[in-house]
């Protein structure tokens, strides 16, 4: 949705640019997309962290999920689920590391992620 809003903002300027060019500019500027939504119980949580890897042959954005939240149930009016790494290593990893964000490729290995401060893999949203 955020990428479409960026497209609309460019189109609203009145500058006559083809959609393919607008999308090329957006993919050159945006590397990581964080998708948030309101879950059962009203809490707003990160559902997916994806890397924008350009445009495909049909002119659509290539969004590759890196981390995803999988809701499993609802308990006491709150969404219950887990985060998992999809196994995709971001192509922008080198740039992120050079920017001072210490990340190693192994952090992206496909697995369920442990909730901070717990011994279990389950995350309460």
State how far the Cα of 93 lies from the Cα of 53, in Å rounded to an integer: 12
pLDDT range class, residue 123, cuts 50, 70, 90: very low
| First-residue to last-residue Cα distance in the chain | 22
Nearest C-alpha neighbor of 108 from the set 124, 123, 92, 87: 87
Structural domains of the chain, count: 2
Q: In angstroms, what CA-CA distances link 87 with 25, 29, 30, 65?
A: 28, 24, 21, 9
Residue ranges making up the domain that contains 9? 1-30
Residues 21, 35, single domain; the answer is no
pLDDT at 120: 52
Nearest-angstrom CA–CA distance, 113 and 5:
31
pLDDT for residue 124: 41
Nearest of 63, 107, 73, 115 to residue 87 by alpha carbon: 107
Q: What CA–CA distance (Å, rounded) separates 18 from 37?
A: 30
pLDDT digits (tens, 9 = 90+) for 92-106: 999 889 999 888 999
User: Lowest mean pLDDT: which of 44-53, 56-65, 89-98, 111-120?
Assistant: 111-120
State whether 12 and 43 are in the same domain.
Answer: no
Which tops the pLDDT comparison, 82 or 123? 82
pTM, 2 dp: 0.81
Residues 85 and 109 in one domain: yes
Q: How confident is the model at residue 122 (pLDDT cuts 50, 70, 90)?
A: very low
Q: What is the mean pLDDT of residues 35-50?
A: 88
């Amino acid at each position: 949705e955020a990428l479409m809003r960026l497209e609309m903002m460019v189109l609203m300027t009145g500058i006559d640019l083809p959609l393919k060019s607008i999308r090329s500019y957006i993919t050159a500027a945006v590397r990581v997309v964080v998708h948030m939504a309101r879950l059962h119980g009203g809490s707003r949580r990160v559902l997916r962290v994806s890397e924008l890897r350009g445009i495909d042959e049909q002119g659509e954005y290539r969004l590759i999920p890196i981390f995803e939240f999988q809701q499993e149930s609802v308990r006491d009016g709150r969404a219950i689920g887990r985060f998992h790494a999809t196994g995709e290593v971001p192509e922008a990893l080198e740039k992120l590391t050079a920017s001072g964000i210490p990340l190693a490729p192994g952090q992206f290995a496909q697995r369920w992620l442990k909730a901070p401060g717990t011994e279990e893999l389950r995350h309460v949203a």
